[in-house]
Amino acid sequence: MKTLELPQTDLTASDVIVGLMRINDMSDEDIRSLYTASRDAGVTMFDHAAVYGGWHGCEERFGAAVTLSSSERAAIQLQTKVGIRPTDHGAYFDFSYEHILSSVEESLAALRTDYIDVLLLHRPDALVEPEEVAKAFDELHAAGKVHHFGVSNHTPGQVELLKKFVTRPLAFNQVQLSITHANVITQGLAANMGGLDQSIDRDNDILNYSRLHDITPQAWSPFQKGFFDGVFLGDREQYAELNDVLEELASAHGVTPTGIAVAWITRHPAHFQVVLGTTNPQRVRDSAAGSDVELSREEWYRVLTAAGHTVP
């Protein structure tokens, strides 16, 4: 599997990340099997969030199931997210100084670790006060509890507002991206084309902003059709042509269609990390194999158009 030297950090990490939002109901043995398969496939980075599995539930399950020696802990990167607070009436966002600090302390305890490699702000908080975020980040970094910081699903303007006060580099932005949910990429192909839905800028050009400012984009839901609408892999009712192309390219490159779906994202020169949501060790292996595939420009654009996107 390819590894990336991540800008604005001292980290070298796999370009495939295993996301652990679905492990809450898994046995210790199954969590360990998932972890072992991931490491054997070359994965070094594991993604959590305080809100996954109930309050710190998935972090707690991971920490209880996976015992990390000091050398193994140093060989991986643990990433978690802060800011979404569940209630009986739904959820709300909280980027306050007090909540960031308390949530990180709870994440450290749940994960049974002394430090978090990467902390992300989990979606934008409309009531954010950047001074409070800056104060929390500075204290966490000075104490050695968090080494690197970033955001998720933030627009360039929201990042710039944070940067007015936050002194620590914001080195990551985790955004939704798959072959079929690809507006972050495809909008730029159809810019200035009136009447075409693809030309609508829904994110204020996150992708080019990230490339200009050395922010590593992370792609979540890499196999989802839309917003948790199910996977496009094997969906011949809605995406027959796409699946035909994926199978053809998979055969040509000696991987699976899953691998080609990963390779399509990692081929982009923005150097995305791909955040898997699977609990299936074989899908992790298939995804890792795709990381090593270098699609040609023709192949990449063929996948794009087979998914229904316009190349003017």
**How far apart are the C-alpha atoms of 17 and 221, rounded to whole Å?**
12
CA distance 262 to 289: 9
Which 8-state DSSP code applies to residue 47? E
Q: Which residue among 52, 97, 115, 209 is the active-site one?
A: 52
- Helical pair 97-111 and 57-65, crossing angle rounded to 10 deg: 30
Q: Is 52 an annotated catalytic residue?
A: yes
Cα 143 → chain centroid: 26
- For residue 172, the number of C-alpha atoms closer than 13 Å in the C-beta half-sphere is 33
Pair of tokens at residue 32: 């360990």
CA 59 to chain CA centroid, nearest Å: 16
Report which residue type is found at 241.
Answer: E
Helices (H), the chain: 28-40, 57-65, 70-75, 97-111, 130-142, 156-163, 183-189, 206-212, 240-253, 257-266, 281-291, 297-306
Tell me the CB-side half-sphere exposure of residue 124, using CA atoms within 13 A: 13
Residues annotated as catalytic are: 52
